[in-house]
Amino acid sequence: MRVGLYPGTFDPITLGHTDIIKRACALVDRLVIGIAINRDKGPLFPLEERVSMVEAECAILSAETGCEIVVHPFENLLIDCAHDVGAQVIVRGLRAVADFEYEYQMVGMNRAMDDTVETVFLMAEARYQAIASKLVKEIARLDGDVSKFVAPSVNEALKEKLGK
Ligand code: ADP
């Protein structure tokens, strides 16, 4: 049984994330979405709301792909989280050059801790490549239309959260 771990903050889940999840589902039997509690980052959505938004999207993706998808909030080291959920593979999305430096370091450090867990990088479809949760929140805050970047239910949740 091939188990993958796709970690992130998912504050909130975007169409970039769902594209990566769909692609990862083709590679593993079970995909664990690791939702970083990340108190330091000061997320807009509390953990419970991020989890329920990811779960709602994953129910659709799981039915579409036949891959089992589970959501797992975590606060410990990523490599320890991979051990906890029995993942042999960590899945990360890669956007242009901005993500590279950080991801390069992460792989190096994680390998030093455990060389048996492999990291694979996936790229989203071109129209979803530029999407970042941070920018989606900024656009929504300034009354911009984010319907091209997030699912309709996430768009509604953003409006409600930002009092729009
Ligand atoms: P963000 O960086 O948008 O706040 P996360 O921290 O939740 O998102 O990111 C989780 C993972 O998803 C990371 O590997 C990140 O590179 C990837 N990711 C996020 N958005 C995209 C996208 N539009 N295309 C490809 N990968 C993405």
C-beta 164 within 6 A of ligand 1: no
**Ligand 1 center to residue 63 CA distance, Å?**
22
Render pLDDT for 63-113 as a digit per residue (tens, 0 to 9): 999 999 999 999 999 999 999 999 999 999 999 888 899 999 999 999 999
**Ligand 1 center to residue 132 CA distance, Å?**
6
Q: What is the pLDDT of residue 11?
A: 97
Q: What is the pLDDT of residue 14?
A: 98
97 vs 129: which has the higher pLDDT: 129
Q: Distance from CA of residue 59 to its chain's centroid?
A: 15
Neighbour tally for 128: CB within 10 Å: 19
For residues 10-40, one letter each, b for 16 or more C-beta atoms within 10 angstroms of the residue's C-beta and e for the rest, the string is bbbbbbbbbbbbbbbbeebebbbbbbbebee
CB 155 within 8 A of CB 137: no
Render pLDDT for 14-32 as a digit per residue (tens, 0 to 9): 999 999 999 999 999 999 9
Give mean pLDDT, residues 129-156.
97
Q: How far apart are CA 85 and CA 78, in angstroms?
A: 11
Q: What is the pLDDT of residue 39?
A: 74
pLDDT-derived band at 121, boundaries 50, 70, 90: very high
C-beta 50 within 6 A of ligand 1: no
Work out which ligand 1 atom sits closest to the CA atom of 99.
16
User: Mind listing the domains of the chain with CATH numbers?
Assistant: 3-159 (3.40.50.620)
Percent with pLDDT over 90 in the chain: 94
Question: Which residues have C-beta within 8 Å of that of residue 114, sequence separation ≥ 6?
Answer: 79, 82, 83
Nearest CA to ligand 1 atom 17: 93
C-beta 45 within 6 A of ligand 1: no
CA distances from 125 to 43, 44, 51, 55, 69 (A): 26, 26, 24, 22, 21
Angle between helices 47-65 and 152-161 (to 10 degrees): 170
Nearest CA to ligand 1 atom 15: 93
Beta bridge partners of 32: 5, 70
**Active-site residue numbers?**
17, 41, 95, 133
